Structure 1
Amino acid sequence: MIVKNTTLSVLLLSTMGLFAQEVAQTNTVVKPEIKISYLDSVKQSFVKDDYAIRVDSLWMKELVSLDIYEDLSKDIQTINTDTKVDYELPTELLKQRLQAMNEKSPFNIQYNQGLENIIKSFLKNRKKSFSRLMALSEYYFPMFEEAFAKQNVPLEIKYLAVVESALNPKAVSKMGATGLWQFMYHTGKQYNLKIDSFIDERSDPLKASAAAADYMSKMFKIFGDWELVLASYNSGPGNVSKAIRRSGGKQTYWEIRNHLPKETQGYVPAFLATMYLYEYHNEHGINPDRAVVQHFETDTIRIKEKMTFKQISSLLDVPEAQLQLLNPSYKLNVVPFYQDEDHFLRLPKEKASVFVSNEDKIYAYLDHESSPKINQVQTLIASTKTASPKSTQTVISKTQLYKVRSGDNLGAIASKYNVSIVQLKKWNNLKSNSIALGRNLKIISESKIIKKDINEVKLAPAVDKKRTEEAIASVEDKNTKEAQPSLYVVQAGDNLSSIAKKLNVSLSDLKEWNGLNAENMDMIASMKKLVIHSKAEESDEIPEIIVASNNIDSYKKKTAAVKNSGVDYYVKKGDSLYSIAKKYPGVTISDIKKWNDIENGDIKPGMKLKING
């Protein structure tokens, strides 16, 4: 028994020793050190502020959208004040309310049929717009009121910015008038608003409001009537003076109105109608949207060095779109630095606190980034561990379609895909901000792919195994997913069924790609082109995430079968046999001609080509 126990003890001790050795060996494994960028190291050292009010993304979409501005401008220019509008608002009740407004206002608010027509038109057609405008007012109106109070200008003139720009600091009229108060270039210069390559202070809410207040104060000294001041703001003091002379010396707006330019005849009534809607919005069921940001929730910082919105966004984690909206006067998304001039950056208060608390570190980072030598070394460290003379970087463009839904606007769509409204309009040949329901919009995104000799690729960043597997799986699925769309030119005698059969696609897909249904099937007769999605074309580019994981062999095995099986390629506009051959390694123009029985090299958009191997 004693021998057995002793033997057992020896075995246990031996086993424990072996276990301890295994543990020791396991503990000696050193994980590779993952280097972080200089930017990340700077941000990790920031002193964080607990104040955490955030700007709602919906608010940014409203500011960037020009839809309301265009709609209101069109209304004011085209509305016929002599045409009665069918809307339930008793005339006697309206007279009582206008009288109540007149008693507490320096404006001469009189009832007339033209004013009633405009008020009813706004109530009938623009209720939703005014709900959104009232939310924006909570941000802008305090700035306006402060500027007007300094010049002893009636605070009610703040409503004029609604008529002028729909409270959009980026609004630009067809004549070039810019900003919340729609100053022309020379008028802006006359009132000391700076306009150069970097800055346009006509879009600065504070400075433009001060200039507007200055203008109103000077015009009142000339005309002595606030309605005439508004008329002069719209058409110029010269036109008002002419109207006074033509009316036989009358000196009130309502007496000279018929002698003013047509647009100005509806301008002051539009202002008074706006004032009425703000005063009695509850009575008409207009519920202001939620105002998630107030003017007092932002703060300004004096900038001591030139910096871009991109740099500020990276350092403070503030979206560039938000910086553009809070700082609309910077035309190139750059806060410049001029000697003997102060430039300010407006930020949400919690971000302003982070900036002030870490100002030295921020400027040190800017100096570091501006150094060409350091910047070059930092770029090399971030991109690869071993430099290769064969390395290249390719920018790949991907096009997708977005079908416009009810309630969409260009601002919301641009924000969703992190692109600008200008890009959306350029890609889709849009001349205005209006978009038709059901229309397919092109969205183009770019991604950078680092391409190297396949046996030498090694990138520094560690890549999650799961993400690598998902990337390889996405390559495996690539041939079944829709690639960039091509266009089919509709020919005489075509119908959807014949086109679907010709292009080897389903009828239901053809309808979906082009927004067609039972109600608008007959539109094909008037359509010149149809959107067609083909199978993904082959490419010798290796997805960045797979390159970063060094999982090239696995990637090649997954795609080998695809490359050897052959693919169908649908000719796009601008394609040539040479450009198509370049897409496929080892494929020549002669090969494509042979595989597709092409004699003279003529190809047309929508034509199906077979690429073998």
Structure 2
Amino acid sequence: MKTRGIVAMPALSLTQFRVLFMTLYCAWHLIISTPAHAAQTIVTATGQSISKVDIRRRLYRLLRELGEPRWTRRDLQRLNRSVFAYIAAFTGSRYQQTLRALQRGNRYRPMIRARLAQAGLPLALEALPMAESAYRFSARSRKGARGLWQYMPASARRYGLKVGRHVDQRTDPARATDAAIRYLKYLQRKFGNHSILLAIAAYNAGEGRIAKIIRKSGNRGYSGVARHLPRETRGYIPEFLAAALILKDPAHFGFPVARSQSFRYVQVARPLPLRTIARWAKMPVTRLKRLNPELKPFRRLPTSNYPIRLPTGAAHRVARKLAHESVWKPVSQVVAFDASATAVNRSLAGTSKAKIIYRVKKGNHLLGIAAMFGVDLEQLRKINHLRDNRIHAGQLLVIPTRKQLVEKSYRVRRGDSLGRIAKRLGIPVRHLKFINGVTDPRRLKPGQQLYYYET
């Protein structure tokens, strides 16, 4: 009977062993380290690179300002990944929408910050209206929430706002802010001793729901209950934190900041005619509307307690005409209006270093993305550190382009077809299908949001 022995391997010399070890190490480093590097950096609209480490440091400082308890390294890394993804979207594919939101926010932030400071709440909560409504005073959700702070009718009435057929004080920036701060103070007393982020989660999901989750999970800190939160709220907290980081330093994230701040905001209690305000400010109505782009379609202020932007002298002239009106100074970093934004867009269009961030959709392939944006396939692979053409849905790609590309959206109407929408927008059908990952055009639904790029 023969016994089976172990087959002996040929002995390696020390030199051969070193060569084999270095080969294996280089292969591991190429496969593991290099692809991860592509996801470690954000390229802003101005061409500036922001590392994930930089975001983590800023996030850690923000959490300390909010009074958050100490987080474990693992929980902080998990939160940082989500915040990083939102910042990548805000500074990339959603750059134009974010820029407009920041410009609208210039009008309300001085008032909001003053009221937050008076109530003893963290100033970072000024980012809540950006996450809720993108600073649109008349924003309305499908569920019926409305205004800067997205109040539901029952909650609004609970905190003293009138909601009816003829009067809806949820669209009144000052009154809605006062009501929101009273509610946030209540949530801070209920949850904030353990975690201010839990209070913010309760603002989004409802205090009863969060209290029930805390009882079931047995944890009182946000990091301990995060995985038990509703899916929408799990995304809402990182979105709020990303917005707060951008508001603290918009220039760092590629948003143009006004050089001069020789203007003020006057809060006007009644919805007066624009012609009257222009006469008091001693300026034409056209200039008043240039300073306040949201007022272009209106002949009078759209709501009571509306803050209007005026040069310093004109602001004080208007304030003297209106007894007991507030004049707000701009915050330290104010996002520039049309002129500076246009300058940034011109600089993007004129340089080969201009880049956009594109999130891969289901059904996308690298060759199609390169063809759609007019980019060489090899260049696209090189800039994203890709070894081959394999990509996956949700992956972020840096797209170098000489064109000034603006992401826009279209809301599907009843009776629309993909061909009809493409003809209306003047773009190819394949563009719409590719960008939105549409595999079956027959499944379009009224209200669905379709995105497209336009030069």
With normalisation by structure 2, the TM-score equals 0.51
CA contact (8 A) 2:172 2:305 kept: no
* 2:285 alignment partner, one of 318, 327, 338: 318
* 1:171 alignment partner, one of 108, 129, 139: 139
Aligned residue type for 2:39: D
CA contact (8 A) 1:136 1:291 kept: no
* 1:219 alignment partner, one of 179, 184, 187: 187
Q: Which aligned pairs between 1:163-562 and structure 2 lie closer than 5 A?
A: 163-223=131-191, 224=193, 225-248=195-218, 250-279=219-248, 281-283=250-252, 285-288=253-256, 290=258, 296-300=264-268, 318=285, 325=294, 347=308, 349=310, 350=314, 353=317, 407=406, 429=413, 439-440=423-424
CA contact (8 A) 1:309 1:334 kept: yes
The aligned residue for residue 327 of structure 2 is: none
CA displacement at 1:311 relative to structure 2? 9.2
Aligned residue type for 1:265: R
* 2:68 alignment partner, one of 93, 103, 107: 107
Q: Residues 422-454 of structure 1, C-alpha deviation per residue, up to 9 Å, x if partnerless?
A: xx98xx94899xxx997536xxxxxxxxxxxxx
CA contact (8 A) 2:87 2:242 kept: no
Q: Structure 1 residues 123 and 156, CA, compared in 2 at 3 Å: closer, same or farther?
A: closer
CA distance in 2, matches of 1:106, 1:178: 29
For 1:296, what is the secondary structure of its paired residue? strand
Q: Structure 1 residues 409 and 241, CA, compared in 2 at 3 Å: closer, same or farther?
A: same
* 2:111 alignment partner, one of 136, 139, 143: 143
Q: Structure 1 residues 169 and 344, CA, compared in 2 at 3 Å: closer, same or farther?
A: closer
For 1:173, what is the secondary structure of its paired residue? coil
Aligned residue type for 1:221: R
Instruction: List gaps (5 residues or longer) in structure 1.
Output: 1-82, 337-342, 360-404, 411-423, 442-513, 521-525, 528-613
Q: Structure 1 residues 156 and 189, CA, compared in 2 at 3 Å: closer, same or farther?
A: same
Q: Which aligned pairs between 1:2-13 and structure 2 lie closer than 5 A?
A: none
CA contact (8 A) 2:56 2:80 kept: no
For 1:147, what is the secondary structure of its paired residue? helix
For 2:264, what is the secondary structure of its paired residue? helix
CA distance in 1, matches of 2:322, 2:189: 49
CA displacement at 1:271 relative to structure 2? 1.7
Q: Residues 380-438 of structure 1, C-alpha deviation per residue, up to 9 Å, x if partnerless?
A: xxxxxxxxxxxxxxxxxxxxxxxxx953868xxxxxxxxxxxxx98xx94899xxx997
Aligned residue type for 1:139: R
CA distance in 2, matches of 1:186, 1:234: 15
CA contact (8 A) 2:126 2:244 kept: no
CA contact (8 A) 2:137 2:173 kept: yes
For 1:177, what is the secondary structure of its paired residue? coil
Q: Residues 457-493 of structure 1, C-alpha deviation per residue, up to 9 Å, x if partnerless?
A: xxxxxxxxxxxxxxxxxxxxxxxxxxxxxxxxxxxxx
Q: Say whether 1:124 aligns with 2:88.
A: yes
CA distance in 2, matches of 1:280, 1:324: 23
Q: Structure 1 residues 233 and 132, CA, compared in 2 at 3 Å: closer, same or farther?
A: same
* 1:162 alignment partner, one of 130, 134, 153: 130
CA displacement at 1:199 relative to structure 2? 3.1
Q: Structure 1 residues 260 and 355, CA, compared in 2 at 3 Å: closer, same or farther?
A: closer
CA displacement at 1:119 relative to structure 2? 2.7
CA contact (8 A) 1:108 1:227 kept: no
CA distance in 1, matches of 2:173, 2:196: 22
Q: Structure 1 residues 85 and 200, CA, compared in 2 at 3 Å: closer, same or farther?
A: farther
Q: Structure 1 residues 221 and 186, CA, compared in 2 at 3 Å: closer, same or farther?
A: same
CA displacement at 1:240 relative to structure 2? 0.8
The aligned residue for residue 389 of structure 2 is: none
Aligned residue type for 1:247: S
Aligned residue type for 2:168: D
Q: Say whether 1:86 aligns with 2:39.
A: yes
Q: Structure 1 residues 92 and 122, CA, compared in 2 at 3 Å: closer, same or farther?
A: closer
Q: Residues 113-164 of structure 1, C-alpha deviation per residue, up to 9 Å, x if partnerless?
A: 4322223323332212444443333322111111112221111111111111
CA distance in 2, matches of 1:310, 1:91: 49
CA displacement at 1:185 relative to structure 2? 0.8
Q: Residues 506-553 of structure 1, C-alpha deviation per residue, up to 9 Å, x if partnerless?
A: xxxxxxxx6679999xxxxx99xxxxxxxxxxxxxxxxxxxxxxxxxx
Q: Structure 1 residues 308 and 91, CA, compared in 2 at 3 Å: closer, same or farther?
A: closer
With normalisation by structure 1, the TM-score equals 0.39
CA contact (8 A) 2:147 2:171 kept: yes
CA distance in 1, matches of 2:145, 2:237: 18
CA displacement at 1:112 relative to structure 2? 2.9
CA distance in 1, matches of 2:415, 2:115: 35
Q: Structure 1 residues 197 and 244, CA, compared in 2 at 3 Å: closer, same or farther?
A: same
Q: Residues 258-304 of structure 1, C-alpha deviation per residue, up to 9 Å, x if partnerless?
A: 22212112222222222233445555x5133549988833342657x
Q: Structure 1 residues 310 and 84, CA, compared in 2 at 3 Å: closer, same or farther?
A: farther
CA contact (8 A) 1:300 1:352 kept: no
Aligned residue type for 1:235: A
Q: Structure 1 residues 215 and 326, CA, compared in 2 at 3 Å: closer, same or farther?
A: farther
Aligned residue type for 2:232: E
CA contact (8 A) 2:116 2:123 kept: yes
CA distance in 2, matches of 1:348, 1:228: 35
CA distance in 1, matches of 2:262, 2:108: 8
Aligned residue type for 2:59: L
Q: Residues 33-77 of structure 1, C-alpha deviation per residue, up to 9 Å, x if partnerless?
A: xxxxxxxxxxxxxxxxxxxxxxxxxxxxxxxxxxxxxxxxxxxxx
**How many residue pairs were aligned?**
294
Q: Structure 1 residues 103 and 264, CA, compared in 2 at 3 Å: closer, same or farther?
A: closer
CA displacement at 1:317 relative to structure 2? 5.7
CA distance in 2, matches of 1:353, 1:247: 57
CA contact (8 A) 2:138 2:146 kept: yes
Aligned residue type for 1:269: P
CA distance in 2, matches of 1:247, 1:358: 54
Identity %: 23
